[in-house]
Amino acid sequence: MKNVINKIFSNETDSEVHDDFVKFSRGRFENRYLLEGKKQADKWAVKSSAEFANYFVRRCLEKISGEVQMKGVIVTTNKKLREEFDFEIAGEKGYMGIKQFLIDGLIRGEKIISLMNKYPKVFFALSFKISDYELKIKAKAPKSGKPGAKGEDGPKADFCSLKTTDFSLVKDLFFDFPDFKEISINHTIEINSIEVPSGNMAPEEMREKSIRLGKVIRKIKVDGVEKRSEKEFRA
């Protein structure tokens, strides 16, 4: 599977890209889809912003079968999601219509994948360690990118942390420069226009079905050298 940024640059825009970009209105959105990577002796250390959380969870769990010790939260506005769980949860909390289901126990990986397939907009902030992956995700709801602290260029890629020996995953994330010692990537999303569907529908449905046109600007610093590329999209 490819992450949404790789799909855009590969001309493979699909429903996953559309769903991921519904949150954007017209305008320029900086410091999105942040990535950092370091090559270590026998593995790679990868850090990212929250946009890659579901990607990491799915990508890692698809490689295994059976129960996995997981810890974290499942975040959603869907009040009926709890009815879909056929595993125990450690608790739940809610605020302003957002539910957080606390996870701390053994869960079969395929059950999480099934939920992700059925509810692609639910946020799975889950941490676990399996054969080729050690994944840590902050157990909280994601927030929009914030300005960096004083003296910093922008927000840090510190919501997700992954250590892996899976080079195919590394190639997907860093598709333009997969052979690196150290790399950081920062994306700007520009939405130039929105195609609104015709017909009588609720505002939320109209927003969900609208098509966004714009471009992704990919700024890379790889082994001390700065690179820049961009790609137009319709999603």
For residue 134, what are the β-bridge partners? 129, 163
**Is the pLDDT confidence value at 13 over 80?**
yes
Q: Which of 3, 108, 122, 115 is nearest to 56 (CA)?
A: 3
Question: What predicted TM-score, i.e. pTM, was given to this entire model?
Answer: 0.93
Distance CA 52, CA 109 (A): 18
**Domain locations along the chain:** 1-49+145-235, 53-131
Angle, CA 162 vertex, CA 53 and CA 116 arms, to 5°: 30
The phi, psi pair for 220, rounded to 5°, reads: -125, 140
Encode pLDDT of 49-71 as tens digits: 999 999 999 999 998 889 999 99
Encode pLDDT of 169-200 as tens digits: 999 999 999 999 999 999 999 999 999 998 88
Q: Which amino acid is at 179?
A: D
Which residue's structure tokens are 């450690």? 90
